[in-house]
Amino acid sequence: MNDINNTDLSFPLKTHKKIKPKKLYNQLTNEEAKALLAKETVRRITVSFYQYFHIAEPKTFRDEMFIQLSNLKVFGRVYLAHEGINAQISVPETSFIELRDYLYSIPELNGIRLNTAVDDGQSFWILKIKVREKIVADGIDDPAFDMSNRGKYLNAEEFNKMTDDPDTIVIDMRNHYEYEVGHFENALEVPSETFREQLPMAVEMMQDKKDKNIIMYCTGGIRCEKASAWMKHKGFNNVYHLEGGIIKYANTVKEAGLPNKFLGKNFVFDGRLGEKIGDEIIAKCHQCGKPADTHVNCANDGCHLLFIQCEECAKDYEGCCSTDCQEVIHLPDEERKLLRKGKSNGAKVFNKSKGLLKPKPALGDEK
């Protein structure tokens, strides 16, 4: 399971259905797709999986997979690269076995761990499969780096036992806004906005602790697996990582009745933006400072800032991050379109180090 495999993927893949969509990409708008999703009566299961292995022709792999997943009415986001696959998807419950059989029919994915979400919900409404340079943007350009020399896996029980030792160091390999709403007890934050920033920072933070037991974790395992290999590459000896990440851990402790050491909410990169793991609320509203752990995107499409908002502020600000954005959402559609014209939001995330949100100029009024 999740073994590194350097064998080129052969084609064609085994297929389950021969009906091909006319186009190898989504053809619906978000609004159309959401409307169709709302009409579904079959329960959906949110699933994530990844695998590091060599794909000789990612574009060919991508097109074949798009056909198969479309036929199964799978929605979600899949990234492919020469180094492997990273997927977060939702599948109708009635098609889950067929999805699993299709994935297992690919030799390098046979037996792959499929993490199912703790909380169900309408996580995705369209299917996107993209070819990228890497499935995790890491900034590594060292040709001597060996992804197969990774840290040792720990299951939930082993993780709990090892973290009972106060000398064990637990490192959270997620972004600052993920850590803010939930993390393991006594876990160290690597305060950054991207994984590529975290890798050198983690090495620097641990320079004088190379003989300590170091456990790394992330949402589903993909980032901490690569991070553990990077730490070993940099001379750290006792490196471990949580198998299946927070998602697998949460499911296991629930099923096995183990103590839950995760505090708060697990941030997820889909329409839910989070799933409750612990009962605690450890974060605060970015507008008023009251306890809250609900991430939202600013209702002003020209802003779309990701931030934490409590129910009271959501009502007072109508889902916006500021009074200025609140004014913008009440403008006529054409005016709002003009304000957005030629502007790109990019990835905008509130940084807690900057303090509470303050009123800001409406889009188009910047000084």
Active site residues: 218
- Say if residues 123 and 271 touch (Cβ distance below 8 Å): yes
Sign of CA dihedral 130, 196, 113, 148: positive
- Say if residues 62 and 131 touch (Cβ distance below 8 Å): yes
Amino acid at 89: I
| Cis upstream peptide for 12 (omega within 30°) | yes
Compute the distance between CA of residue 116 and CA of residue 90 in angstroms, rounded to an integer. Answer: 9
Q: In Å, how far are 147, 194, 229 from 232, measured between CA atoms?
A: 10, 20, 5
Q: Of 292, 282, 291, 322, nearest to 304 (Cα)?
A: 322
Q: Which 8-state DSSP code applies to residue 367?
A: -
Compute the distance between CA of residue 259 and CA of residue 265 in angstroms, rounded to an integer. Answer: 16
Q: Burial of 196 by CB count in 10 Å (0-12 exposed, 13-18 middle, 19+ buried)? A: middle
Compute the distance between CA of residue 241 and CA of residue 176 in angstroms, rounded to an integer. Answer: 19
Amino acid at 14: K
The string of DSSP letters for 37-103 reads HHH--S-EEEEEEEEEB--S-HHHHHHHHHHHHHHTT-EEEEEEETTEEEEEEEEEGGGHHHHHHHH
How far is Cα of residue 246 from the mean position of the Cα atoms in its chain?
11
Tokens at residue 262, please? 């995760």
